[in-house]
Amino acid sequence: MDSMVNQKTVLAVTDDVVLPVSSVLTIMKELGKEVIERFDPLIITQASTINQFPLDASSVDAVLAISKTSDFPSDKICGEFSRILKPGGTVFVCKVLEGETGEMQQTIQRRVTLAGFLEPQCLDLKSIKLSTFSLSFGIKAKKPSWKIGSSFALKKPAKVLLKVNLDDDLDLIDEDSLLTEEDLKKPQLPVASGCETTKKACKNCVCGRAEIEEKAVKLGLTEDQIENPQSSCGSCGLGDAFRCGTCPYKGLPPFKLGEKVSLSQNFLEADI
């Protein structure tokens, strides 16, 4: 009775036409001795032509795939391995190949990884002696221990407050100590002098105001007339037809030079 309870189910598949039971027993004793002690092998040949294995989901403890071509097991077959294996079950893929096997190892590892298997490991199987064929290498991987549709509660990370350690012995720099006496002095505003602070040109005028005032005296101009700007062409009073492009009187009516320019009351009124 105990032997029946401890007995495991192993599925052996191959893309060949014949797979001896003795070869399956020899390989599983070498590879699955740490996983399965007693097992009842189920053998399926020409598995590359099968779309779905005639087994229920999560009904097999281990899968042994013996391949003689580079296309087996395909991505779809690896997905079938994952379907029929029990959670935590193991898959063994053994290749009967000669020559360079590095690229093929990476291909098989990729296929079982995409099928959802964990921890793919490469195995050297040249030491296993079989009567009908010789093995080159193998890939061992495990199905996750959880079932499809299982849910797990995620633990929220504990909130860790940022701690700032202040060292009382740490030397702090006083910002005021970085300032010099020159930096603390109140800036002195420049004192206005010369013609800017007087109504008339100063005694030693160099800005040209004294010359303008002398010319105004000769012409008999008033102070308001002096403040009216004049261009260098002297045609400001003749109208826009005679004024230059930068004339300050552009757009104003004609006037007599020396007189203060004044606008009529209706100058700013709309024409319409």
Complete DSSP assignment for the chain: -HHHHH-EEEEEEESSS---HHHHHHHHHHHSTTT-SSEEEEEESSGGG-SS-SS-TT-EEEEEEEESSTT-S-HHHHHHHHHHEEEEEEEEEEE---S--HHHHHHHHHHHHHTT-EEEEEEE-TT---SS----EEEEEE--SSPTT---PPPPPPP-----PPPTTPPPPPGGGG--HHHHSPPPPPPP-GGGGSSS--TT--SSHHHHHHHHHHHT--HHHHHS---TTS-GGG-TTT--TT-TTTTSPP--TTSPP---TTTTS---
Q: What is the pLDDT of residue 1?
A: 41
Q: Are residues 115 and 225 in the same domain?
A: no
153 occurs within a structural domain: no
183 occurs within a structural domain: no
Q: Which CATH number belongs to the domain containing residue 47 in this structure?
A: 3.40.50.150
| 122 annotated as a binding-site residue | no
Structure-model confidence comparison of residues 154 and 23, the more confident one: 23
Structure-model confidence comparison of residues 38 and 19, the more confident one: 19
167 occurs within a structural domain: no
- Last residue in a domain, options 127, 142, 157: 142
| 94 annotated as a binding-site residue | no
115 occurs within a structural domain: yes
pTM score, two decimals?
0.52
Confidence at 30, pLDDT banded by 50, 70, 90: confident
- Last residue in a domain, options 102, 122, 142: 142
Total tally of structural domains belonging to the chain: 2
Instruction: Tell me the per-residue pLDDT of 71-129, one tens digit each, with 9 for 90 and over.
Output: 899 999 999 999 999 999 999 999 987 666 788 889 999 999 999 999 899 998 888 88
Q: What is the pLDDT of residue 223?
A: 61
Q: What is the pLDDT of residue 239?
A: 79
Distance CA 136, CA 85 (A): 25
Instruction: Tell me the per-residue pLDDT of 209-243, one tens digit each, with 9 for 90 and over.
Output: 777 677 666 555 556 555 555 556 667 777 788 77
Full residue range of the structural domain in which residue 219 is found: 201-261
- Last residue in a domain, options 142, 168, 189: 142
Q: Are residues 229 and 133 in the same domain?
A: no
Instruction: Tell me the per-residue pLDDT of 131-146, one tens digit each, with 9 for 90 and over.
Output: 888 888 999 999 998 7
